[in-house]
Structure 1
Amino acid sequence: MNKKILASLLALPLVMPAVNAQETSGLSAIKVSGFGTGAVTWTNEERAEFVRPNQPSGAADNVRTGVDSNLGLQADMPVNSWLSLTGQVLVRKDAEEHFGAELGWAFAKARISDNLSVRVGRVGLPVFMISDYRNVGYANTMLRPPAEIYSQVPFNSIDGADITWQHGFGDTSLTSQLAYGSVKSPLAGDVHAKGKQIIALNVSAEHGPFIVRAGHARTKVSVEDSTSLNTLVAGLRAAGAGYRFPTLAPLAAEIEAKEKQAHFSSVGLAMDWNNIVVQTEFAKRKTKTYINDTTSWYVMGGYRIGKFLPYYTHSTLKIDSAIVNTVPAACPAGYPAACTPTMQALGAGVRRLPNVGVGQGEQTTDSIGIRWDFASSVALKAQIDRVKPKNGTGLFVNPQPGFSGPVTVGAVALDFVF
C-alpha cells in the first residue's frame, strides 16, 4: 500500500478516500463512497473449514466466495463548519451462513478545535493497528488481516463516544483516541458477545515513513443466549451437588461468562520506505472467564516493484493459560451407574466450550502473496497460507474426526474503492 494513500485513509473521518464521491440528487452535501472485495477461497482439507473471525462456516476442499468477500457503503454529510454526520453499512458473511448487512458506523462528529474532535453514536473500536479499515481490502497490503491477532476481540464497534486529539511536534504527528461505550455482537445464530463499560485508549505517532501505535482496552464481557453454554454450567452445578464433587461448582462459576473482566493490549509498527513495506503487531488478551488468555503477533514484509507488491507474512497465536478441566473421567465405585456417563459428557462439554474451546485456537500461519495495482482504485491479490494448528484444531471450524492439519489455503481477491 502506497504510504500517501495510507496516510489519507488514516486522516479522513471516512477511513477511506472518497474516490469519485457521488452527490445525491437534492442532497448535494451528502457524499457517498464505498469499498468492496470479490474473492474466492479454498483449501486442500475436507475435514475442517477455514474462516475469517466470527464466521460459522467457510472453505474446505471447495471454492467459496463468502469467506473474504464484502461490500461497504458510506455516507458523510457536513451539517455546518464544525459538525458532520457519518454512516456506514457493511455487507458480509458474519455469524450467519448467508450474507447480511450491518450498521458498522453511525455517528455525529463535532470538531471542537483544529486538534480536538468528538464523535457520538456507533464508532469503531480502536483495538488494532488497522481497526478502522480492516474490512477495506484495498487499504491493506495483505489479502486479509492475520486471524491469529484479529480473532482475539469479537467487537468491531461500540455504541458510545470517542474523543480524538491530534498534534504535530516538528516532523512527527501524534494522535490519541479515547473511546467509551458498550456493544452486543452476534457470534453464531442467536448467541451474542456483550461488552459492557468498554474503555479503549489508542495512541499513534507518524514520522516520515514510520507509524507506531499502542492501545489498551478493557471491558466486562458476557456470552448471552448460548443454550449449550447455559446447559453446561447448569449441568456442572447439578452434578456437583448431586454427586458431591466439590470441584464442579467452582468450575461452573469460572466458565460462566457474565460480566467477567477482560483486557486487550497491543502495539504495532508500519513502515513504507524506498519501496520496502513492513507491518507488525503484538497483542495479549486476558479474561476472567473460560475464554483463553492469549499472546499473538505477526510480521509482514514486502517490496514494491512497479505496480506489483509481493509480500510474506508470519503470524502466531499462543495460549498463555486456560481453565483447568476438573471434571473426573470416571466416578468411584459405589456411585450410581449414570455417574460416569454424566461426567464423561460434562468433561467433553468443557473441552468443546462454545465459541472458544478450552485449549483450542493455537496455530501459526505462513503466507505468501502478491498485490497488483493494475488500475486506478482497483487491486488484484493472490495469497497462499500454510496454517499449522497446535494442540487441537486451531481457528478452523466444524472439524471432523482425524483433523490435525497443516492446511494449505488459497485465495484470489479483487479489491476496489469508489
Structure 2
Amino acid sequence: MLLSRQYTFLALSLGLVANAEAAIELTDNIMLSGFGSTSISKTDNKTPLFVNREIADETCYDCDTIFGLQLDVALFEGVDASAQLVKRTQDNWSEPELEWAYLGYEFGDFEVRAGRLRLPLFLVSEFYYVGQAYTWARPPQEVYDAILGFTSYDGISLAWDYELSDEVSLHISPYYGFERLNEVELGSAILQFDTEYMAGIYVDLVGFNYRVHAGFMQAKYTPRPTTETQKLDIYTLGAEYSLDAWLWMAEIEYDELQTNWYASMAYAFSDVGLTPYLVYAESHELRESKGVTLGLRYDATSTISLNFEMQSIFSHEPGNRAQFITSPLLYGEKEDVDLLSLTVNFVF
C-alpha cells in the first residue's frame, strides 16, 4: 500500500527502523525477524516506578527486558498473515504473550485485518516493543502508561489509503475490538477489566519528513470485582518532524480522567552514530507530575544501539501516584525520583 511504503521511507529517514536486511528469509514468502531490549536501571526511591516495569532503588537487570519474534507470511496475492510473540517487561520467559496474530487482505487502496491487533493510539504503537525503532530508552511513560500499558485488542480493522499528492498520503483506519478480559499488575494488586468492546479510529497524515497521527477510542468495560459498567473515551494527537539531523516529536493523550503530554527533540551526529535527546513531559489529574529526560543514543551498527538516560520526575502533589505504581507515602518516601538507565536494543 502507498502509505505503508511512504511511512517506511519516513521511518528510515528519521532513523526509526533498522536495516531491512536484518530479517531472515526462510522461503520466498516467509520472513522471520526478531527484536529485543534489556537494561541496567536504578532509581533513588523505594517506590516501584512505571507500570509493568517497577524500577526501584535496587539495581535492576531485567525491568526493561523484552524479546520478540515475528513471522510474516505472504499466503497468496493480496492475502498475508503475521504473528508476533513477545516476552514483555511484565512476563516471565516461560510465559510470553501473543502480541498480534492476524490475517490481512489487501484490495485496491483498502486493507482488512482480523485477529489480535495492536492498539493504534500513539505514534510508536505499531513498534512499541522494538526499542531499536525509536530514539529513547523507553517511550515517555506519561503518555504510554496512560491506559495502564494495554497494547492489543482482539477484533477487526479496515484501512484506507489515499494519495493527496506525490509526497503526501492520508491513512484512515476504523477498528473494533470484541469482548476480552484485560489484566494489569500494580505491585501486589491485579486489576481486571472485563472489556465489552473497544471501538475507535485513527488518521495518519504522512509526508516526506513528517507524520501527524490522531486517534480516538471508546472502551466499555466493567472493573472487577464491581458490576458497574463504565465507558471511557480516549483522544490522542501526535506529530513527528525531521529536518536535516533534527527530529522533533510530541504527543498528547486526553480522557475524562487525565491529560498527559510530552515533547521531545533529538539531534543525530550520523558520522559517529551518536544522538543526544531531551524529553519534557507532564501528567495531570489522575496522575500529577512533571518529568525531564536527558539521554544519549549510540548506534553501534544498523541493528544494535545503546541508550544512556538520566530522568527526573517531580510530583505536583504529596501522596499522588505520579508515575509510580502506588503512592510513595506507603513506602515512607519522597514524591520525586531520579532514574538512571543503560539500555541495549537489537533487531535481527
Counterparts in 2 of 1:1-400, with a 5 A limit? 7=10, 18-24=20-26, 29-46=29-46, 48-51=47-50, 53-55=51-53, 58-94=54-90, 100-113=95-108, 115-154=109-148, 155-170=150-165, 171-182=167-178, 183-188=180-185, 191-224=191-224, 230=225, 256=226, 258-286=228-256, 293-306=257-270, 307-319=273-285, 361-391=287-317, 392-397=320-325, 399=328, 400=330
Cα distance per residue 1:149-203 (max 9 Å; x no partner): 1111232111110011112111211111111013332212654223322111110
CA distance in 1 between counterparts of 2:193 and 2:45 reads 30
CA distance in 1 between counterparts of 2:34 and 2:213 reads 26
Give the CA deviation at 1:127: 1.1
Give the TM-score of the pair, scaled to structure 1.
Answer: 0.73
CA distance in 1 between counterparts of 2:295 and 2:306 reads 11
* One-letter identity of the residue aligned with 2:290: T
After superposition, the Cα gap between the structure-2 partners of 1:61 and 1:203, relative to the gap in structure 1 and judged at 3 Å, is same
**Structure 1: where are the runs of 5+ without partners?**
225-229, 231-255, 287-292, 320-358
Do the aligned residues in 2 keep the contact of 1:196 with 1:259 (CA within 8 Å)?
A: no
CA distance in 2 between counterparts of 1:270 and 1:401 reads 39
* One-letter identity of the residue aligned with 1:313: V
CA distance in 1 between counterparts of 2:96 and 2:135 reads 25
Q: Which moved more, 1:74-83 or 1:28-37?
A: 28-37
Structure 1 residue runs of 4 or more that deviate by more than 4 Å after TM superposition: 3-6, 15-18, 96-99
**Structure 2: where are the runs of 5+ without partners?**
1-5
Q: Secondary structure at the match of 2:88?
A: strand
Do the aligned residues in 2 keep the contact of 1:218 with 1:261 (CA within 8 Å)?
A: yes
Do the aligned residues in 1 keep the contact of 2:211 with 2:240 (CA within 8 Å)?
A: yes
* One-letter identity of the residue aligned with 1:49: P
Give the CA deviation at 1:270: 0.1
Cα distance per residue 1:69-89 (max 9 Å; x no partner): 201110011110111111001
Higher helix share: 1
Do the aligned residues in 1 keep the contact of 2:7 with 2:206 (CA within 8 Å)?
A: no
Higher strand share: 2
Supply the RMSD in Å over aligned alpha carbons. 2.3
Give the CA deviation at 1:393: 3.1
After superposition, the Cα gap between the structure-2 partners of 1:18 and 1:159, relative to the gap in structure 1 and judged at 3 Å, is farther
Q: Select the structure of larger CA radius of gyration.
A: 1
Cα distance per residue 1:230-250 (max 9 Å; x no partner): 4xxxxxxxxxxxxxxxxxxxx
Do the aligned residues in 1 keep the contact of 2:170 with 2:205 (CA within 8 Å)?
A: yes
After superposition, the Cα gap between the structure-2 partners of 1:269 and 1:5, relative to the gap in structure 1 and judged at 3 Å, is same
Q: Which of 324, 333, 341 is the matching residue for 1:403? A: 333
